[in-house]
Amino acid sequence: MASSVFLVIYLSLGALFLQQIAQAFYNVFFSPLRKIPGPWYASITGIPKLYNAIIRRKQSRWSHDMHKKYGQYVRVAPDEVLIDDVVAFREVHRMGTHFLKTKIYKFLNPTPPGQPPYGLFQETDPVRHSNVRRMVSRGFSLGYLRTNWEGTVHERVKAVVEGMKKEAVSNHGEVDIYKWWPLMAGDVISTLMFGECPHAVEQGLDDELIAGYKLNDAGNGFAYSFPYIYHILKWLPIPSLKRAWAGNPVLIERGKRAVENSREVSQKANIFATVLAEAERDDPTLSDFEIALNAGVLVFAGTDTTATSLTYLVWAVLSNPSLMQDLENEVAQLQPPYTDEKLESLPVLNAVIKETLRLYGAAPAPLPRYVPREGAVLGGYYFPAGTTVATQAWTLHRNPKVFENPEVFDHKRWLGGLASREEVKASWAPYGAGSRICIGMHLADMELRMATAAFFREFRGAKLAASTTPESMEVDNTFLIEPHGHACRVVLPTK
């Protein structure tokens, strides 16, 4: 009996081995993707891609280097191709596209790895996504934000400036802005989503929801990248692993209050109150859990993204004394109380923000999509159904045919009408594109304008600390970007 069991195991392993050999043989010699340029190993394995994304944390830079070496279309795995082609970019991400998000997005959810229900960002079903987005977007229009939430943003910006001042006084003028900006952005988006401000700025500590999200994100990312290892390790009684793959329990408790506050007409009203109040009779409704889930998803999406862009913006400006003086002079002319609409008219301020989003947009990594069931022809290549194709803002924004000296931070390029050029509009994607474009981009822009104006009004003459170097600010990223040194220390005037 035992020998029969072992025989079955051996035969099964042998069959699996032969199947893998046959698949590799097909990928190398018969796959339609074999005609696409790329490194020699790409037809056999995608491990180098994972290594550069997860271990080296250079996903966007590595993908960009692949394009520079092999061209606009690069095969980086047996069934995955990177694309740097504006025409293909528009086709893949256009409204109504049949190129749907891949399953990796389901692992970026606050639930346990790959488990539904999914938030707005993670939902891959286009009909469900469209319904939820239509409802939630009512609270994110620029006009609505300015009417109802501009005061909240102003108040949180003022609070973070005061927090920086206090730390500077007690620390010889030195503060880490990479610590402070997430506290501000987290306070803003939490207030909008939950109707309650966690006052992370005043405490000087990450809100527990954000801290829990970082653990959740790391655990789910591992589960997606190494599924076989995950399915073994998840059974081990190791508390740290259990926590990493348990989803975000803080979200559930906080979400209950988001649901309660969404139904109140009070100081605790949140964006979901608008969603529910303005829902038409025949609209689909959001369940209580979906409100809680999407509130948590949007808090995460609206915190590190805005904060990281602000960090790189301040670093880039302080690295250029002439630009710093121009920006300081411009915002010094503001007569308080000034509005976001007024800030939108300042040329230097907005040029700096544009250039920051070009070079240091928080999410510049490849955006993977599945080729639809009918297959597709892109750039003269045929892509069979189910192939993963991915474009990335990092490369689109560094096209030397569109942006002269693309690796140089030069805000002046935006002062001469560059944004109105068709080739720029076609490839501009700091917030994504098409029906999946970031729902919170107007809020992010508002925070960038207000925080930048406040910082350079209040801290005229700030400078980079000795520990903040080009090497420490080198971009690391898997999906979002962050400074290699995990800090950006600046010296603020204290008198």
- Binding-site residues, please? 438
Q: Rounded distance, CA 186 to CA 134, Å? A: 24
Q: Which residues are annotated as a binding site for heme?
A: 438
- For residues 355 and 410, the answer to whether their CB atoms sit within 8 Å is yes
Q: Rounded distance, CA 120 to CA 101, Å? A: 12
Cross-strand bridge partners of residue 381: 378
Question: Identity (one letter) of the amino acid at 464?
Answer: L
Q: Rounded distance, CA 128 to CA 123, Å? A: 7
Q: Is the peptide bond before 117 cis (omega within 30 degrees of 0)?
A: yes
Long-range contacts of 194-198 (CB under 8 A, 24+ apart): 194/254, 194/257, 194/258, 194/261, 194/270, 194/295, 194/299, 195/257, 195/258, 195/261, 195/262, 195/264, 195/267, 195/268, 195/269, 195/270, 195/273, 196/257, 196/261, 196/268, 197/152, 197/156
- For residues 182 and 204, the answer to whether their CB atoms sit within 8 Å is no
Q: Which of 252, 299, 262 is nearest to 111 (CA)?
A: 252
Query: Among the residues of 270-368, which ranges form H helices?
Result: 271-277, 288-301, 304-318, 321-332, 340-343, 347-360
SS3 80: strand
Largest CA distance in the chain: 88
Q: Residue 89 phi/psi, 5° resolution?
A: -55, -45
Q: What DSSP letter does each residue of 122-140 carry, written as one string?
A: T---HHHHHHHHHHHGGG-
Query: Among the residues of 120-278, which ranges form H helices?
Result: 126-136, 142-148, 150-170, 177-194, 200-203, 208-225, 227-233, 239-244, 249-262, 271-277
Cross-strand bridge partners of residue 176: 489
Long-range contacts of 44-47 (CB under 8 A, 24+ apart): 44/78, 45/77, 45/78, 46/76, 46/77, 46/78, 46/80
Other CB atoms within 10 Å distance of the CB of residue 323: 20
